[in-house]
Every structure is written in C-alpha cells, then in structure tokens.
A and B are shown apart, each in its own frame.
Chain A
Amino acid sequence: MNAVIDIAPAPTQQGCGDAPVLRERGQREVFCGLAGIVWLHRKIQDAFFLVVGSRTCAHLLQSAAGVMIFAEPRFATAIIDDRDLAGLADANAELDRVVTRLLERRPDIKMLFLVGSCPSEVIKLDLSRAAERLSRSFTPRVRILSYTGSGIDTTFTQGEDTCLAALVPELPASEERALMVVGSIADIVEDQFRRVFDGLGIGPVHFFPARHAGEMPPVGPGTRFVLAQPFLADTTRALELRGARRLAAPFPFGAEGTTLWLQAIAREFQVEATKFVSVIGPRRERAARALAHHRVQLEGRKVFFFPDSQLEIPLARFLAREMGMVPVEVGTPYLHRQLVASELALLPAGTQLSEGQDLERQLDRCRAARPDIVVCGLGLANPLESEGLTTKWSIELVFTPVHGFDQAADLAELFTRPLARRMKLVA
C-alpha cells in the first residue's frame, strides 16, 4: 500500500548509526540562544522579543544582528541594573513598567516574548510568572510568552527550539489530519514546499512558526509533523505531548535529503508512486544538474566542522554523499540521536563525530588534519585563514535559504566559494 518508489538508493552500509562520539568539555566558542532572535523576529512578523538581561546581552544582539538593528527591529533588551539586583520584587515591577511602555509604543505587536538570559536565570527572575501576570493585563490584544535563550541553557539555534516549544501549548487544538512542517525556514522556501505538497495532493499543510502570531497552526492527534531543522528537540517533545506524531526523515538539504524528506511525508500521506515520481522527478533532476559542477570542485576534499548550530551532521551528510567530500570531524553542540538517526545512517562509516567542545584541543586536531575547508564561527574564521586554512563561516548556513531542491546548489556554493577564492588569490 505504501507504493512509493525509492528514488534514492538505499544506504548500503551501516553509516554512523552507532559510531562512537567524542564527548568533550571545556571552552565552547558558540553563540547563546539569544542569537535565534535575529532570524525569529524576521519570521514572525508581529512578534516582539524582549530580552531580560544585561548590557552583554544587548551587545551580543547588536553584534550578531549587524546592520539589521537599524531597520526598526522588533527586539530589545531590558537591561538589569544594580538597583534591580538589590531586590527581586523591584525587578518584577520594573519589568512590568518596561513592558507596558514598550507595548504602548508599539501597538502593532501581537505577541511578546520575554526572553530569559544568563543573568535573569541566575537571579531566578521568574519570567513565566511575569508573562502570566502581564498577559492578564494585555489579553486579548497581545499574547505574552516566555522562553530561555540563555547561554547556560541554550546554544545558538537551540534558542529557536525553546521559543517554539513555548509556543506549542498555545497552539489551537484540532483533530484534523494535517501535515505540520516545523522549524523556521525562509519564506521563499516555504512557498516552494507548498507548491510541492500541492502537487502531491498533500494537505492541509501548516508551517510552524507561522508568519503571523494569529496564524499559528492547530495541533492534535491527527497532526503529522516533520522537522525542517535538526535542533528542535524540545519542540518535538512538546508537540508529541499534544498527540502529534513525528515523521522520521533526513533533513531537506541537497537533492537527496530533500527527496528522502518528501518521501517520508509522501509515504505517510499515501501518495502514489507514479505521482511522487512525476512531481519530484523533474525537481530532483534540476537540483542534480545544478549540483553537478559544484561536485567537480568539492569531490575528495576534506571538511572539518566545528560545533555551532546542530546543522553539522545533515550538512556533512550532504557534502559527503552528494558532493563526494570527506568529513574529517563533525562537531555538534548537541547530538540528539533520535532526531538525526536517519542522518547518521547515511553518514560515511568512520566519520569522527564530536559533541560539545574543548576549543583548544579541537583546534589542535583541526590543524593536524589539515582539512581543505573548515566550517566554523566568525571568532575562529579569520585566525584560521591567517594560518593558511580555508574556512566557511557557519552562521551563513543558518541565515541563508539552503533547504529544498532549488537551494541545493546555493548550499553547495557556500562551500565552493571560499575554495574558489583561495585558488584565485593564489594564482
């Protein structure tokens, strides 16, 4: 009955399914979850993100957001000062004052997130209670929620996970059988996927998060959700608690990843094989054609991933299987085996996986391996370039549309460009 043709060849070997993982602790060169605000506020167009933290938090946001900060951003920091530290009751009153003033000034805001930071967590400022308290005064005009983006709890993209997980209990209930795509992806990619699902006759399809606070999708036992991003462990759990079921699949990076991802969905929604092939085939073909000339440049090259976004494993899989690259070490801040099981199965056997980080030791390993390209954060990229290594700064992989068939070549190009540049400058 599940007559869906496997377009992709089944993996022939065990991959990295049960490969040992190097677990390290030490200095971690990563962003905290607050950085997620930078793209989340673009995605949810009437939400405001108010960080309750220190000047460091505000400085981090403006460093990470770059010029975006000047476009009347929908995020800000309520900076805790020493008067707030003197007594917590005071801090709550202050927070209410700041929120009230903010919402008066921005009547267009429909959803406000109070975002916890390291200082607010350490002084145990209870933001969930503050959110409840404030909700009472602002409902129904504004919904006020809270989640943590603190560095002590979250690493970079995990900030999106804690945000979405906080939204899940707020989603309307529904018994309807529907597909939910979870994880914020670029609007253009969302529209592309919508067209594919229409072609396959799959519907209704919801994307979570939605573009507006008032349009968040319903959830219930009929919901089948598929992750578009690998870093959504808490959100997955929260959705499962509401009766939704996750469809296991690799992530939609590259032609193969996208095909397998769509295939898992098509199988669940019982799409006929011929239909699947007729809808997916041409798109896959187009992606493969676009990828071909990148493969020439990337094949056989060694790639080393520093931990950053949890995208490392799916990206290494894409680079290894579709671009013929050799992953030397794939570092990830957290490894949720369940969520990346289908990815690990596809990763070449023998790939060194590492979870967590001891920066100096990892740098030693990286230098010793002399990879052709190093995927790392902006704090490391220039120093490594000056040592003669070629780098691809990883944050771009989060900000650029890279999901789906039509972005597959853009994704590959992110890796070919630094190599091509180095060759040009050497020549």
Chain B
Amino acid sequence: MQLTLWTYEGPPHVGAMRVATALDDVHYVLHAPQGDTYADLLFTMIERLPRRPPVTYTTFQARDLGGDTAELFKTACSQAFERFRPNAMLVGASCTAELIQDDPGGLARALALPIPVVPLELPSYQRKENWGASETFYQVVRTLAGPRAPAPGTPRPAREPGAKPCCNLLGPTALGFRHRDDVREITGLLNELGIEVRTVAPLGASADDIARLGEADFNVVLYPETAQQAAGWLQRFFGQPFTKTIPIGVKATKAFIAEVLQLAGLPADTPLPDALSRSPWYSRSVDSTYLTGKRVFIFGDATHAIAAARVATEEMGFTVVGLGTYSREFARDVRDAAKHYGVEALITDDYLEVEAKVAELHPELVLGTQMERHIAKRLGVPCAVISAPVHVQDFPARYSPQMGFEGANVLFDSWVHPLMMGLEEHLLTMFRGDFEFHDGAAASHLGRAAVPPPAAAPAPAAESSDVPAVAETATAAATVAAPAASAPITVAQWAPDAQKELQKIPFFVRGKARRNTERFAAERGLATITVETLYDAKAHFGR
C-alpha cells in the first residue's frame, strides 16, 4: 500500500481513454463502476474538447454485483455499437472491474460484432497511465494492421522511382502536452524537407488509417512513452525503421532532420528549413548573458526531461543541478542523461520527494510539471512547465509547440519569462524604499509572498551600494516554507562585524554569499564566521 497525495499519472485505463479519444472512429467500452466517468472531464475541461470522449462505461453499482455484471457489460457493448457505429472497438476493465474478473474481451467476442474488437489487459494495480496508452496503441496497431503484415522475412519493397518518401507520425494522443502543435510543427518540417506525412496516429487517425500504417517508408516516434512499443512492432512486421531523436530544441531538431533524411534516403545536405529559428540568436544576444550558469532543476516525463536538460545546457547555457522523472519505464534513459550532467537522477512518483530535492538544491529555475510549478511557488523559485501532467492553461489557444524550430522559440520565451519576472520582482523589492514602490506592491507571478526568493538573482553584477536591509530573512523564510528540506549541517556563528559586512552585499546575491560562506566554514570546521572568512569564501568559490 502506498500513501499518495498527488499522482503524476492516472490509472492505465485513462491512458487507454487518451488513445481512444485521439482516434477518429473507435469506441471504448469500459467495464467500470459508477464514478469512473470523472475521467471524461479531463478531456472536456482540461483539453476543452467540444465532444464527449468516445467511451461507454457500464457504471455498475453494488446491487449489480450480486447479479450479472457480465450481462451488463454485453448490453453496454452492443448498445454502444448500435448507437455509435464505430469501425473498431476497444474493450477493457478499470481497476474495480479487474477485481470482479468478467473478461471483457471474451464477452465482446461472444457478441460477434462485425468490426474488429481490441481487448485490453491493463493491470491497474501495477501500471499507470502512460503504460496504458502505450499498450493500447500497440494493441490497436497489432489488431488492425496485423492482418496486412507481409510474411516474416519479406524484404521491404523499394520505393517506386519518383515517389516522394513518406512516413507516419506516431505517439500524439488526447491530453498530450502540446501534442496538437507538435504534430503541426513536425509535419511542416517534414513537408519542407520533401517528406510526405501519411498518417498521424493515434491523434486523428481512423481505424482504416491504422490498418495502412505499414505502407509508409518509416516512422517518426514523437513520444516514446506512447509510441515506442507500437513502432517496435511495426519495425519487426513491416520492416519500418523509426526515429530515435526527439526534436525538442534547435540542436535536437537538426539531429532529428539528419536522422530523417537518412531514413528517407534523401541527401544529407538538403537545405534546413530553419529560417524562423530565432532562439539561437536570442540566446547569444547580450541580454541573455545573465542566463549563464543559472542553476536549473528539471523533472517531468522522461522524454521532455531529457530534452529539456539538453536545451538547458547546450542552448541556454544553464547548469543542470537536478534531473528526474516519474516515468519508471524510461528510468534508465534518464539515469544515463543525468550521468552526462554529473548529477544523480531522481526517479520517483512521490512529489514530496521532488519537493525535498528542490528545497535541498536551491535551484534558480525549476522546469517541471504542474506539481513542480506549485512546489516552486511555495519555495519562491521561478518555474516553467515542460511536461504533463498539466492544467488547463497548458492547453493554450495559441500555437505553441515544443518541437521543431518554432518549438525552440516557444521554449526560449517560456523559460526565460519567469526569470525576467524574477528580475522585475527583485528590482521592485530593491527599490521598495522608493516613494513609488512599497511593501504592498503586488508581486508579478509569485503571488503575494512576503519575501522574495533567496538568490534567485538574475542580475548583472551591478554595483549597488544603496541596498536597503531587505531580504535578510529570505533564507530563513525559505527554510520555513520548505519543511521537507534536508537537515542542515551545523552552522557556524556569524560574528557581528561579519554579519554587518554581509548586509553590504547586494541582497540578490546575499543569500548565495551566506550559503557559500557557511558551507566554507562548515567544511573547515570553523565555529565563528569573521569578515575574513566571508572574503576567504568569496575567493574560494569565486569563478
């Protein structure tokens, strides 16, 4: 039994719903108790779909348990078929129905419906949402495309001369973080390279489209969490290779293009369609200098976390101080990536652990999910969202992909934005002795926190002699706000004159100076921090 307050992923049948809802003419009959229909509102409210998810629930109640829940399932199944006339159907059980063991697959088979029926076995007490989506997509592909697979060992026929190379895009689902716009961005990119996109699946694909997946030359896997398993099967049965690079960030996008050109059999020097790639210049512009070495903590699904770490270090010049994921299925990939940045990967689905880690690491920027957004808010650290789970504001009306060149522009803006906001906030606090600013001035995005974040200081090291005695409580307050923080090492006492000297340091670096000095003192076993210790530490840690 696991004590859970917040869960990063839903149960696996929600993953199945994400695939069913993404598909065009496929209906899902879910054996589930009354109440499980709550999942509908994720789609109608968070993604704001203007239609109901194509899911029929049996919604059995206690009084049904004594009777024939199997009959209930069959009735629901045949009525759903009559009403919606889908071209394929998914049947399965939610966690409770798994316990009553009605075998939806067998029951549906007994109905002998004139369409393919895909039975789903989703072990609710072991697996989670992303696994459910992946398994469902795989089963759908296997059932619908399987009959068209050539005999094992048949070589892939060569493309007809003059025919354009073509591919499928695999992985986008309903309730996917920016899936809608990633598909548009990558489709545009491929088209400009002269590659046709045959089918996008599951998002927007019909049962018939799925059946014809094997016709394309290769597959582009956008989200391994949902598509890797299906792509592997397509490779084995149709000989279709699939892409491994996730095109998030300019460098990854270029690597992705190189990979795609090779799979499509196009010349490697095909011109890059990167005319609108603004983020490399923005990153080089002097305004971005203060981003250098900014300490960033990254958490999310494996795909987005790994991609974000690369963008953060190679394209933004940040320092990755923490990297983690809740996707246990891809823990190894994240561990490997973490090693690359010299940090230890945090693999957990307990947000309290994540919170403790963030509090311990004191990052200056957090890139994460909805939960990290709230953790960062509590700790007073700027934050941007890079991965599901997300709330309604991350299904925006405007075009905002994560992938491709426009995606890189979006990343730049959305990551730098909270830092700029942070700068604004610091300046406001700095001048709060000024007649125009005062304690009551509203904070920008961090809510009405009583104190500014400690040392989240995005500022050119300006000489600021006239700093009012503010923010001194910041470190203490942050510790209070972070009950989960690691046990502090024994801290040396500050001599009064050292304390006074510390006050002269601009407040936006004062927290860092205090931490560094205390660490320096602790490492040397000093009991008292003098002015000399302060400057010794400065010299020691100075870059």
Contact B99 A81 (CB under 8 A): no
Bound complex: CA A217 to CA B76 (Å): 46
Taking A63-B38, A80-B125, A379-B52 as contacts, is the C-beta distance between A70 and B374 under 8 angstroms?
yes
Q: Does B356 contact A (CB under 8 A)?
A: no
Q: Are A59 and B34 in contact (CB under 8 A)?
A: no
A119 and B95 in contact, given A73-B5, A81-B2 (Cβ under 8 angstroms):
yes
Closest-by-CB residue of A relative to B40 is A379
Which residues does chain B contribute within 8 Å of A70, judged by CB atoms?
371, 374
**Which residue of chain A lies nearest to B46 when distances are taken between CB atoms in the complex?**
A63
Measured in the bound complex, the distance between the Cα atoms of B58 and A28 in whole Å is: 8
324-348 of chain B: CB within 8 A of chain A = none
Interface pair B3/A76, CB less than 8 Å apart: yes
Our pick among A54, A123, A378 for the contact of B124 (Cβ within 8 Å) is A54
Report if A102 contacts B (CB, 8 A).
yes
| A393 to B154 Cα, complex, angstroms | 56
A55 at the interface (CB under 8 A from B): yes
For A272, the chain B residues whose CB sits under 8 A away are: none
- Cross-chain contact of A29 among B40, B50, B61 (Cβ < 8 A): B40
Residues of B within 8 A of A121 (CB): 62
**B449 shortest CB reach to chain A, Å:** 15
Which residues of chain B come closer than 8 Å to A379, judged between CB atoms? 37-38, 40-41, 44, 52
Taking the complex as formed, is B83 at the interface, i.e. its CB lies under 8 A from any CB of chain A?
A: yes
Q: A93 — nearest CB in chain B belongs to which residue?
A: B1
**A32-B35, A378-B44 known; A152 vs B61 contact (CB < 8 Å):** yes
* Closest CB in chain A relative to B379 CB, distance in Å: 12
The DSSP consensus for interface residues of chain B is mixed
B96 at the interface (CB under 8 A from A): yes
* C-alpha gap A113/B385 in the complex (Å): 35
Residues in A29-77 with C-beta less than 8 Å from chain B: 29-35, 52, 54-56, 58-60, 62-64, 67, 69-70, 73, 75-77
Number of interface residues of A (CB under 8 A): 61
Residue of B nearest to A156 (CB): B35
CB distance from A418 to the nearest CB of B (A): 15
Residues of A within 8 A of B391 (CB): 67
Which of A26, A62, A152 has the most C-beta atoms of chain B within 10 angstroms of its own C-beta?
A152
Could you tell me the distance in whole angstroms from the C-beta of A292 to the nearest C-beta in chain B? Answer: 34
Contacts A30-B35, A55-B95, A119-B99 given: A152-B126 contact, CB under 8 Å?
Answer: no
Contact mask for chain B residues 1-38; partner A; CB cutoff 8 A; 1 contact, 0 none: 11111110111011000000000000000000111111
Return the CB mask of A79-105 against B: 1 if under 8 Å, else 0: 111101100000100110110011000
Task: Decide if A381 is an interface residue (CB 8 Å cutoff).
Answer: yes
Query: With a CB–CB cut-off of 8 A, which chain A residues contact B48?
Result: 382
| A82 neighbours in B (Cβ, 8 Å) | 123, 125-126
Given the known A-B contacts A29-B40, A31-B35, A379-B52, are A79 and B58 also in contact in the complex, defined by CB atoms under 8 Å? no
Residues of A within 8 A of B65 (CB): 122, 152
A121 to B5, CA, bound (A): 21
B38 in contact with A150 (CB, 8 Å): no
* Complex: chain A residue closest to B75, CB-CB: A26
A80–B38 CB distance below 8 A:
no
The interface residues of chain A lying within 8 Å CB-to-CB of B57 are: 27-28
Tell whether, in the assembled complex, residue A122 and residue B100 are in contact, meaning their CB atoms are under 8 Å apart: yes
A122 to B126, CA, bound (A): 18
B128 within 8 Å of A (CB atoms): yes
Select which of A58, A118, A123, A378 is within 8 A of B35 by beta carbon. A118
**Are B62's CB and A360's CB within 8 A?**
no
Assess the B11–A56 pair: CB atoms within 8 A: yes
Give the docked Cα–Cα distance between A31 and B57 (Å).
Answer: 13
- Nearest CB in chain B: distance from A78 CB, A: 5
Chain B residues near A137 (CB-CB < 8 A): none
Contact in complex: B40, A153 (CB < 8 Å): no
Q: Taking beta carbons and an 8 Å cutoff, which residues of B are in contact with A?
A: 1-7, 9-11, 13-14, 33-42, 44-45, 48-52, 56-62, 64-65, 76, 79, 83, 94-96, 99-100, 123-126, 128, 371, 374, 391
Q: A28-B37, A56-B14, A151-B59 are in contact. List 9 more A-B contacts (CB 8 A).
A: A54-B96, A54-B125, A60-B38, A77-B5, A78-B3, A84-B1, A119-B95, A155-B35, A380-B52
The 3 closest A-B pairs by CB, nearest first: A32-B35, A151-B35, A379-B40
Q: What are 13 sample pairs from A and B whose C-beta atoms fall under 8 A apart? A: A30-B35, A32-B34, A32-B38, A56-B11, A56-B13, A56-B94, A63-B38, A69-B5, A70-B374, A77-B5, A78-B3, A152-B65, A383-B50
